[in-house]
Amino acid sequence: MNRPHLIKIPERGGTRVTNDGESMNILCIGDVVGKPGRDAVERLLDDLKEEFRVDLVIVNVENAAGGSGVTSKIAKHFLEIGCDVLTSGDHVWDQKELEEYLKEEPFLLRPANFPEGAPGRGWCIKSTPSGIKVGVVNMIGRVFMRYNVDCPFRALDTIIEEIKKETSIIVVDMHAEATSEKVAMGHYGDGRVSCVFGTHTHIQTADEKILPNGTAYITDLGMTGPYDSVIGQKKENILRRFLTSLPLRFNVADGEATLHGIVIEIDEKTGKALHIMRIQREDKAFQEQSGKKESCSAMQNE
Ligand SMILES: [Fe+2]
Ligand SMILES: [Fe+2]
């Protein structure tokens, strides 16, 4: 067996993924949490796209609206600023008004393995500006998750068959809690899809790899949201809940956000992954803005 190869660990400042014209680069961004997360995407996206010569951007937006789901207005904004496909997860139903928008927007996905009758769709095919078609699939796990959904493994078989009629490039967002279920999904898709990445835990894992049959894999992309927090929520509230078991309200934390995700390079013809690279970026503009605010108020105080 050939050993999985070429795992690029970014040094500070990032390592360039090359694109020689026969491969394409896809940026995948982990669960965006609240306004700090949204601002980080907005401020960092253009630079990331340029740095990694990104052809397509996939963003998990399930916590973008105050930590709970996403609104149609926020989803539209993500699409306007250059995100191509939006995925979600267990929080997709948190904003009731989203149901109508899910029916009409083909590039906003809910997990594909929700039972028949759920609004919206769980997969799509998006063309890049240069005309390369990419299939994107959103799945949700069943282990330690709150919904009774269809089997994500069996559901993937049917969807792969459909997408393969148009393209061999397929990326799967496996939104799940249990690492075992995500790893299993990676191996299940190996050689049939280009990438399986996990979302939902908000903690980036360091296990990015190319599986033996050419599928890029990582257990979790991590979160795009407030750094000084417990998975994006105010740490004081979460600690109080752990200490007292009282049903306390969670609030999105304030402060500087970090963007977490991956860049994958895929062979355009075969759909096999060539590279996978983890990325973590601080929203430095937030610090600059805060600095400006502080100096303003300092002046006012004088
Ligand atoms: Fe989730
Ligand atoms: Fe999440």
Per-residue model confidence as pLDDT tens digits over 256-275: 999 999 999 999 999 999 99
Q: How far is the C-alpha of 223 from the C-alpha of 232, rounded, in Å?
A: 8
Query: Measured in angstroms, how far is the CA atom of residue 1 from the centroid of ligand 1?
Result: 35
Active site residue 91: yes
Contact between 29 and 60 (Cβ < 8 Å)? yes
| Active-site pick, 5, 91, 202, 275 | 91
Residue 109, classed as helix, strand or coil, is: coil
Closest ligand relative to 89 C-alpha: 1
The candidate with the shortest Cα–Cα distance to 270, out of 188, 178, 199, 194, is 194
φ, ψ (nearest 5 deg) of residue 206:
-105, 35
Query: Measured in angstroms, how far is the CA atom of residue 71 from the centroid of ligand 2?
Result: 15
Residue 70, classed as helix, strand or coil, is: coil
Query: Measured in angstroms, how far is the CA atom of residue 20 from the centroid of ligand 2?
Result: 34
Residue 11 has pLDDT above 80, yes or no: no
Residue 6 has pLDDT above 70, yes or no: no
Closest ligand relative to 64 C-alpha: 2
Query: Measured in angstroms, how far is the CA atom of residue 88 from the centroid of ligand 1?
Result: 7
Q: What is the pLDDT of residue 4?
A: 38
Closest ligand relative to 59 C-alpha: 2
Per-residue model confidence as pLDDT tens digits over 61-115: 999 999 999 999 999 999 999 999 999 999 999 999 999 999 999 999 999 999 9
Q: How confident is the model at residue 202 (pLDDT cuts 50, 70, 90)?
A: very high
Contact between 25 and 84 (Cβ < 8 Å)? no
DSSP 213: T
How do the domains of the chain map onto residue ranges?
A: 22-301
Sign of CA dihedral 43, 15, 26, 158: negative
Ion ligand 2: protein residues whose beta carbon lies under 5 Å: 31, 62-63
Residue 290 has pLDDT above 70, yes or no: no
Per-residue model confidence as pLDDT tens digits over 174-191: 999 999 999 999 999 999
CA distances from 270 to 107, 123, 193, 213 (A): 24, 20, 10, 12
Ion ligand 1: protein residues whose beta carbon lies under 5 Å: 89-90, 200
H or E element in which residue 57 lies:
strand 56-60
Averaged pLDDT for residues 137-166: 97
| Mean residue pLDDT across the chain | 90
Q: Place domain 22-301 in its CATH homologous superfamily.
A: Metallo-dependent phosphatases (3.60.21.10)
Residues in CB range of 270: below 8 A, 6 or more apart:
168, 214
Q: How confident is the model at residue 292 (pLDDT cuts 50, 70, 90)?
A: low
H or E element in which residue 180 lies:
helix 179-189
